Chain A
Amino acid sequence: MSGSVAAGAVPAVRVSGVRKAFPVKGGGETVALEEIDLTIERGEFISLIGPSGCGKSTLLRVVGDLVAPSAGSVEVNGKPAARARLDRDYGMVFQAPVLFDWRSVEANVRLPLEIQGVGGSERDARVREMLELVELGGFAKHYPHQLSGGMQQRVAIARALAFQPALLLMDEPFGALDEMTRERLNAEVLRVWARTGTTVIFVTHSIPEAVFLSTRVVVMSARPGRISDVIPIDLPQPRDEETRETDRYYELVTEVREALRAHHGPAAGSVASLERARAEGGIG
C-alpha cells in the first residue's frame, strides 16, 4: 500500500514529545500522557503495558489519529498521523469486537475495502484470504450474533487486516477472553504478523502475553503516563508453545514484572494480581 515505497530508514512510527491532557469539568485537567518519545521500526511487534489509567489506550489513539495530542507530534511512515489515517495505513482492533449486526461475517470484513474503493473479484478474494487467515473460512455467511466472543474478535482482526495496513493497532483485543482462547489467538496473531510483516502496537494487561508476542515491551507508569522502561525481548522467532517453557521466557517475564514494580510498587502489584485473578478465571 501507500508507504511501502518509502522504505529504508524511515521508522514505522515516531512519537516525539507527546503530551495529552484532558480538560476536567470545573477547571483543571487530567494529564494522560507526558513526554512520550518512542520510535518503532518496520515490522516490530510492540506491547504497551502498565497500570490501569496510565494512558495506554490514549497513546494508541493518539498514534491512530483518533484523538489529537495536546503537544508533540506523531509520524507514521514519515507522514503526520492524520495523513497516515487518510492514506488508510491503520488497522484497528478494539477491546470489544465492534462488528455490525446487520452485516454477515464476510460483509464485516469487507467494510474497509468498500470504503477504500477496492472492488469486484479482488475484494472478494481478499476477504476470503483474511477469513482463512483467522480460520473462519467456513463462517463467511454467518452473522455476528451466531459467533462466540473469540470468533467475533477474530473477525475484527480479519477486518483490521483487510486492507493490509502498514500499522496494526490493538487495544486489549483479548482482554475479555478465557486463558485458553487467548493463548490460541496469541499464536494466531503471531502467525499473521509473520506472514504479513506489518508493524503491531498491542496494548495488554498481561505480562506473559506481552513477553510472548513482542519484539519489545514498553512499560508505562501512571500519573502522568510516561514510558518508564523499554525491554527488548530476544526470544527466537518463530515462537510457539515451547517458547513459553524456556528459561529465557521466565527471565523476561520476571524482568517486565520488576520493571512494572520498580516505578510504581502498589500499582504493579495490582496489575500482577489482576493478571492472576484472570488466569484463575476470576475476572472475565
Chain B
Amino acid sequence: MSAPAVSAGARPSAAERVGARLVRILPPLLVFVAILVIWELLTAGPGRRVIPAPSAIAAAVGTDQALLWRSAQATLVEALGGLAIGTFAGVAIGFATARWATARDVLLPIAIGASTIPLIAIAPIVNNWFGVLNPLSKMMMAALLVFFPIVINVTRGLVQVQPAALELMRSVAASPTEVLVKVRIPNMLPFFFTALKVATTLAFIGAIVGEYFGGTSDVLGRVVLQSMSNGKFAVAWAAILIGAIGAMLTYVVVVLVERVAIPWYTALRGDEA
C-alpha cells in the first residue's frame, strides 16, 4: 500500500527499499555518533565532571553488569505492567464515556481532575496503598500517567466520527453494533495509537518516579539514587540511559504494531513515524 509505489507505476525492489531506508536512517545516526564523539572529547580524561564520559559510562555498564541488568528487568516489568493496566482501564473507560453521555459527564471531569494532581504528590500514597515493596505500586504509578491520554483519545476517536458517515450507516439500516465495529472503532484506532506512543514514555517516567519514593533496591530508580549518593556517577548515568533505551524500544514496538494494525493510516499519513 505504499503510495510512492503506485505513482511510480512499479514496485521498488527489496534492495532499493533497504537502500532507501538506510538513506533515511543515516543522518540521525551520524548526528548521534557526532554527539557521542564531542561528548567524549569534552569529558574524557582526569578530573570530576558534571557528566561522565561515554567511555566511563560504558565501563560502568561492564563492571556493574549484573546489578544493571537485574534493575533494568525489574523496571521494565513495572513500566510494561503499568502500561498494560493503564491502557486497559483507559480503553474500558473510553468506551463507556463514548457510549453513555452520563458516563461522559461523570467520568471525564474526574479523569481530567485526576490528571492535574502532581505525580510526585501522590507517589508516596500510591506506594503506601499497594505496598512499597510490591512492584504493583510502581505499576499503578505508571498506569495513572498512562490512563489519561488513552481515555481522552479513545473517547475522542469513538465520538468524533463524520456525521455524514453516520447518516450513511443509517441509510443502509445498520445496527448500532455495526456502526461501532465498522465506523467508530476503525475511526478510533489512529487516535488510540497516537496516545499509546505518548503513553510508553509516560509509563517509564511513572515507574521510575515511583521507585524514587522507596521500594526494592534492584530497580533503575534506586540504582540512580544510590550511585549518586556514593559518587558513582557513571553507574547512575548508565541506569538513566538504560531506562531511556527501554522506553525507546517500547515505543518502536508500538510503532511496528501500529503499522500492522492500521496500514491504511500510515499509508495515508505518508510518513514512517
Give the size range of A's interface with the partner.
20 to 34
- The yes or no answer to A115 lying at the interface (CB within 8 A) is yes
Q: Are A143 and B267 in contact (CB under 8 A)?
A: yes
- State the total of A-B contacts with C-beta under 8 angstroms: 61
- Interface locus among A96-104, A188-196, A209-217, A269-277: A96-104
Interface segment, one of B87-95, B171-179, B191-199, B221-229: B171-179
Is the CB–CB distance between A98 and B173 below 8 Å?
no
Contacts A66-B171, A86-B173, A111-B182; is A102 near B262 (CB within 8 Å)? yes
B1→A98 contact, CB < 8 A: no
- The answer to whether B170 touches A88, judged by C-beta atoms less than 8 angstroms apart, is no
B164 within 8 A of A: yes
Q: How far is the CB of B1 from chain A (nearest CB, A)?
A: 7
CA distance A101 to B1 in the complex (A): 13
Q: Say how far A66's CB is from chain B's closest CB, in angstroms.
A: 6
Give the interface centre of B3, B164, B183, B189 by most chain A CB atoms within 10 Å.
B164
Q: How far is the CB of B45 from chain A (nearest CB, A)?
A: 56
Encoded as 1 (CB less than 8 Å from any A CB) or 0, chain B from 75 to 86 comes to: 000000000000
Check A115/B3 contact, CB under 8 A, given A100-B183, A143-B267.
Answer: no
Residue B6 at the chain A interface, CB threshold 8 Å: yes
Interface size class, chain B: 20 to 34
Q: Kindly state the separation between the CA atoms of A278 and B171 in the bound complex, as whole angstroms.
A: 30
- Asked if A101 and B178 make an inter-chain contact with CB atoms under 8 angstroms apart, the answer reads no
Q: Which residues of B have CB within 8 Å of A64?
A: 171
CB distance from A84 to the nearest CB of B (A): 10
A102 x B264 contact (CB < 8 A) = yes
Residue of A nearest to B164 (CB): A98
Q: Given contacts A94-B167, A115-B178, A146-B6, is CB(A101)–CB(B173) below 8 Å?
A: no
Q: Is B171 within 8 A of A101, CB to CB?
A: no
B186 at the A interface (CB under 8 A): yes
Q: A87-B173, A115-B169 are in contact. List 10 more A-B contacts (CB 8 A).
A: A66-B171, A88-B173, A90-B172, A94-B167, A96-B164, A98-B162, A102-B262, A102-B265, A145-B267, A146-B6
